[in-house]
Amino acid sequence: MSEAPPEFVTQHGPALARMCERARAARFKVADEHLRDAAYRGVRAAGVLDGGGVDGYIDAIHAEDLSLALACQAGESAPWEHFITSFRPALYAAARAIAGDEMRGRELADSLWAEMYGLEVRDGRRRSILSYFHGRSSILTWMRAVLAQRHVDYLRSQSRIEPLDDREEPAPNISDAQNDAPNSDRARYVAMLGKALDAALKSLAPRDRMRMAYYYRHDLSLKEIGRLMDEHESTVSRRLARTRDSLKLAIERTLREGDKLSHDQIRLCYDFAAGDLQLDLSRALPDIE
């Protein structure tokens, strides 16, 4: 039985159809109904179900990655082989960068693979954390963000079990010191990304900035933006995609040349800010009456 209510499917039919077309789900034998259900879960989790940003949310879904995640949750071998071949090298590299240690990075990545595969079985079904992936970011960005959080959790757990020596003077609070380090890194990376984003947005052409503001700050649909800017809906979608690509290049150039960050450190900026970047966009873009 479908999770998505009929009125949701009817009201947002065109956006859902575009998402299903982008997903190329037939190669993994994922039905359109399952994609629509996943989109509904994502919209509900994002808290935009009762707002005007549903179509925009659906149009921004990384549909191919969502399709792959759904196929892997179903336990099919071919999607898992594709998943492992496509993402294992990048995931191990990200884990090494986050942990700062080859062995710990390997353990971190392997534990995430196990969680995604779902070693725990309930009611005859494997429980996979891929069920929390809704396609708001790419699946690789999502996995990096989970790795970063798992590493922070590991550091906190280590601080709680650190043995105390009663024969010596009380030591500085190890828990605070270890907790401060990852939180400090997270704040620093997010701040650098936010500063680079602000600079990139200011460099946009006025119409590109206005189009982004309508979409991200005011939650207008592609059709509404097209009407306001005298552009076809497909043109709005294409130009938004082009502007996002331009922003990404400008942001990474600033981080690389201005902040002197390595490729892995730039990835960490995105990882630590995962889920917050769209909020940063809404704050940084102009408020258009």
- pTM (predicted TM-score): 0.57
The string of pLDDT tens digits covering residues 198-216 is 888 888 898 998 888 887 7
Kindly state the tokens that stand for 82.
């594709």
pLDDT at 99 (0 to 100): 79
Comparing CA positions, the residue from 242, 217, 216, 237 lying closest to residue 226 is 237
DSSP symbols for the chain = --SS-HHHHHHTHHHHHHHHHHHTGGGGT--HHHHHHHHHHHHHHHT-TTSS-HHHHHHHS-HHHHHHHHHHHTT-HHHHHHHHHHHHHHHHHHHHHHHSSHHHHHHHHHHHHHHHHT--EETTEE--GGGG--SSS-HHHHHHHHHHHHHHHHHHHHHHTPPP-TTSPPPP-HHHHHHHHHHHHHHHHHHHHHHHHHHHHHTS-HHHHHHHIIIIIS---HHHHHHHHT--HHHHHHHHHHHHHHHHHHHHHIIIIIS---HHHHHHHHHHHTTTHHHHHHHHS----
Express each pLDDT in 91-137 by its tens digit: 888 888 887 778 888 888 888 888 888 766 666 666 888 988 999 88
The yes-or-no verdict on residue 257 having pLDDT over 90 is: yes
Q: Would you state the pLDDT for residue 15? A: 93
The residue type of 10 is T
